Structure 1
């Protein structure tokens, strides 16, 4: 599986978490890294080049720090320009169909703040819905995001551990979001049948 990492960070040099992630991902043989800010400081996206990169890969990871409940603006510009009719949607626009998409994001606050009743009111999954729907619209497969919380207060040791977790998440090939549910259902039915047999004995 070939993985493309599309990084949207306004200043990677000052970053701790996203810089560590990006450097770790750049060392993986089947991963191509694409730093949008470095490549397009004026946001003059090369549409054909970016479309070609997407065509060459099976999974696309959108990496960014969560800014105002979304991504930094360059990622929105990238999507607006690259997801062209005839390429991503519309007549003949099936080029992204079947590709996997995933988000890796760092979040400044704690996880419990992102829920109903928390100080941010919504979960990360809810805040990322526009990305999920965009992927659905172009026929892609949206995989669960990797979120790293408390980004403003983490230690170097926590960043190192989080980087390992991120790599395991975004590079995992045997993704089946229903596997645990299927396992639970099978175990539940087996337990019910076993109790029924004991009652009949």
Structure 2
């Protein structure tokens, strides 16, 4: 199973900068070990307020208990709170991995689908089929990287685009766009991201 984890770190008062640097150094080394073991898949930085320290991670584990063992093994966990959202496969997830474009920005999208009451079943089926075709095309064009279904029923997408304007145009082209409430989160590279290191 794959799990996205929001990791929020708050360093207690009185901890020296040297102590923080030492723990961060161990965190980076351990992240490389977890990546080599196939347990840490990706790391990103979301938009942050001044003084905020937060990271998005994508982990692989057999279940929630194994994931907790992995998260507990990370040195920064002594100052960190982790929020976990289990993922399930999405039928429109790209069948093959989409290569990352070093010049593009990655984005998370959270899609909440609301079908208007009274919509004919034939129209729903038509739009759902069109959505599947569109996502396959966008994956082939290198724009859609991954698509999952979250435990709360919403869909989580990972995209790459040259700009937010380009991504907005892409999302508006989706057949289901009129029924989607979409939250878009721009991501920046994390120094310990396994994919970033591979580049």
> Which has the bigger relative contact order, CA under 8 A and spacing at least 6?
2
Q: Structure 2-normalised TM-score? A: 0.26
Give the structure with the higher percent helix.
1
Q: What is the TM-score normalised by the length of structure 1?
A: 0.26
Structure with higher Rg: it is 1
Q: Which has the higher strand share?
A: 2
